[in-house]
Amino acid sequence: MKLICFLIIGILLIFSTSALALDGKVVGVSDGDTITVLSADKTQHKIRLYGIDCPEKAQDFGQKAKQFTSDMVFGKVVDVEAIDIDRYGRTVGMVSINGQSLNEELVRAGYAWVYNQYCKKPFCAQWDLLQKQAQANKKGLWSHPNPVAPRDFRRGGSKGHQAVTGPFHGNTNSRVLHSPTCKYYNCSNCTAVFKNNDEAIVAGYRPCGVCKP
């Protein structure tokens, strides 16, 4: 009986992953590595680019990375090869337009780090070379004498920027989490209090699309 259950789960996972392979028009660009794609059935899909990490919007070159992504794909039809689903429910995948990889081009232009913690595909080694070339040529963020990786910035490792800390408020109705800097932080239903966003995620809350705690 257990074997049958495992087989059924495996088949469902295969089909669910396949269903995430899609093409559609890019209708939103949240930042350099996150876009929204509208598929033919009018469903919006939030896509997190696989294997890379662009500067946060509040970081140096964060807005330029977002503009690079917008210039390349906004309003255009792209192909999305789904690889995973992240903890926020976003599709993590490869995005390409006319055979050109957005993920790779961001690294080549110096607007993204290769996210080695998660980039495990064979082509990630090639991306590492592209990153080194961008560094050597001082492209994009590498023109800065001491660029801070987004993962360090999110942990408060940026000099000159103060990372947002808690307590965070959760909307008990929508189950959306807000940071202290968010305009929705003190909403009428924002009565759940969390020390950090990880604690809130475990409790079933999802990050606000505005403040992105």
> Residue 11: pLDDT above 50?
no
pTM for this prediction? 0.66
Sequence spans of domains, the chain: 17-146, 168-207
Catalytic annotation present for 175:
no
87 catalytic, yes or no? no
Is the model's pLDDT at 115 over the cut of 60? yes
**Beta sheet of 192-194, edge-to-edge order:** 192-194, 168-170, 176-178, 206-207
Report d(CA 65, CA 112) in Å as an integer: 8
Mean local confidence (pLDDT), 17-33:
83
Q: Which of 81, 90, 108, 175 is catalytic?
A: 90
Token duo for residue 54: 């662009």
pLDDT, tens only, 58-113: 888 999 999 999 999 999 999 999 999 998 899 999 999 999 999 999 999 999 99
Report yes or no: 35 and 73 within 8 Å, Cβ to Cβ.
Answer: yes
Task: Answer yes or no: is pLDDT of 32 > 60.
Answer: yes
The pLDDT confidence band at residue 16, using thresholds 50, 70 and 90, is: very low
CATH architecture of 17-146: Beta Barrel (2.40)
pLDDT for the residue 200: 81
DSSP 145: S
Residue 130 and residue 107 in contact, taking contact as beta carbons nearer than 8 Å? yes
Based on the residue annotation, tell me whether 104 is a catalytic residue of this protein: no
- Given a cut of 60, is residue 4 above it in pLDDT? no
